[in-house]
Structure 1
């Protein structure tokens, strides 16, 4: 550990050393204090978003482009609200009507966006690595809103903030050390799972992953998680149960025999939830397949389900990320 690396008790260094990155492409490789810094920065926006007056002028005069090459109403809306509540001008790029559909290359699109002198870009793309490619071609900060099977960093951050808020509500300090988190579903294709694994293991949580054999990545143990194929075993003593969406297009052929069989083996029911800790938190990034990976009475379980809280924390996390990534361009003291 060098002098620039604080212990967790010291939280993080001052100024830009707390988060020295221009972009947020993924959570892999981030230091614990860098993640904690973003979580702490989001707290002020959680409070603001619960007030009648939700708008500030922190990013007044800045232009943010949300370029979503892959559809996601929930994530796009969350980023749009985040930017507007910070006072920025937010432009949503309609990719379906763009030159990309006419054969323009991704690099050409990046060059075009760069010529518009945006102050930050939020990119979502169906191909892993596409967001990093764009980030290398533009002059402003780039925030990854999901790229292929790679990462979805703000989802990992908002889930961590949701967990911390829940633990604090129980009277705990909100530390992640000693927490057992079970993530169940399509681990193989899930960028949400990947970002959560990077985030939670970095913060010290014990992460279990559970999936049918065909949906479990090879050598997943290298990500410092414990793999399970038996959901009941993976649930025993878990403090947090995070279910992943099983995509309809993957419900036949080599992955699973049928939705009915999947629910029988991997669906979160009230009976299964009883195997976890007595007040285990239930999470799902949405949209949900009710009655397949999660039953409605579990998804709507008062005091235990944090699914709507995840949506709320998402706006706050995205506000924090947009604020932090634009501090250098705004000349914020300590961020030059």
Structure 2
């Protein structure tokens, strides 16, 4: 994959496909823009005119509620026209290729495609074939990347914990199948997190994760010890095609966050989760919206972060 595909010659975002390889200054620019837009939409009037006249197409080849609706809201709050394409009912189910779909929709004068696809690299494929002036925003491709989720996680951590260089972050759960974990690790490493931990049974740890800058733990107590932030990952049952775990109950027993296990974290540690939550699996039910949890705030921040990415890519100025 071409690492420079998503950056223009003058260093601006052309597409957003992955956080891997992005410069710290660019990540900070996106987070700063999200903070600015978050503040600008706190009043009763939440609509800004930054993308008036632009067209954004949500092209989801995988089902999604939270991600698709936050992208839709983000575009609408910037005053863009938004089309949600139900791909399962489109021509792709009749044999039309991905490239045919892209070119057909480009002919409708779309400015940006927000794409989610089950195949790793699909967003890069679209970006490589997109017409000049048409932007591609990756909303999750296979196990590869989910850059806006990574950005909203970074935004949440920075807003509530400050300097990444002082922070130990534990990512717990299905690391193997998680594009969120990969995006989080790339972003945390780029912004200089003190320590990045991945915590899971051996069957859910991918090969090469340590080369990305993460320390591997197979004990939840050890992985949580002294952590400032814990990011719980959804156990992705739809992606688990082999015998990765004996049972969901056993996973919760060994790796689920419970009230008793909070004692391993720092007293002011925060709890995050990209959603949707499997209650009683990744987390004890009442902790999900408890005093340490920022799970609902993450949803709100996700709108501002996605607004920021859209505004920066399409060249709008606040």
| TM exceeding 0.5 | yes
2:145: which partner in 1? 151
- Find the counterpart in structure 1 of residue 154 from structure 2: 160
1:248 Cα deviation (Å)?
Answer: 3.0
Structure 1: where are the runs of 5+ without partners?
A: 1-14, 168-173
Give the alignment's Cα RMSD to 1 decimal: 1.7
Whether the 8 Å CA contact 2:150–2:187 is kept in 1: the answer is: yes
Structure 1 length normalisation: TM-score?
0.89
Q: 1:88 to 1:16 in 2, by over 3 A?
A: farther
Find the residue that maps to 1:274 and give its secondary structure.
helix
Deviations 1:112-133 (A, max 9, x none): 1222221111111111011111
TM-score (norm 2): 0.93
Q: What SS is found at the alignment partner of 2:158? A: helix
Aligned to 1:185: 173
Distance in 2 of aligned mates of 1:61 and 1:204:
38
Separation in 1 of the partners of 2:309 and 2:294? 22
Distance (whole Å) between structure 2 residues aligned to residue 107 and residue 253 of structure 1: 32
1:5 counterpart residue number: none
Aligned to 2:198: 209
Residue of structure 1 in register with 2:183 after alignment: 195
Cα distance in 1 for partners of 2:166, 2:122 equals 36
**CA offsets 1:201-248 (integer angstroms, 9 cap, x no match):** 110111100111111011211001101111110000000001000023
Corresponding residue SS for 1:289:
coil
Cα distance in structure 1, aligned partners of 2:128 and 2:113: 12
Query: Residue 80 in 1 paired to residue 72 in 2?
Result: yes
User: Which one of 37, 40, 63 corresponds to residue 45 of structure 1?
Assistant: 37
For each residue in 1:21-73, what CA deviation from the matched residue of structure 2 results, as whole angstroms up to 9, or x when unmatched?
Answer: 31000000011111001000101221133211000111111111111111111
| Matched position secondary structure for 1:161 | helix
Q: What is the total number of aligned residue pairs between the two structures?
A: 308
Matches within 5 A, 1:1-336: 17=10, 19-139=11-131, 140-167=134-161, 174-205=162-193, 206-249=195-238, 253-302=242-291, 304-327=292-315
CA shift, 1:195, in A, is 0.3
Deviations 1:155-195 (A, max 9, x none): 0000010111112xxxxxx2210200000011011000000
Distance 2:239 2:186 in 1: 25
**Contact preservation (8 Å) 2:289, 2:296:** no
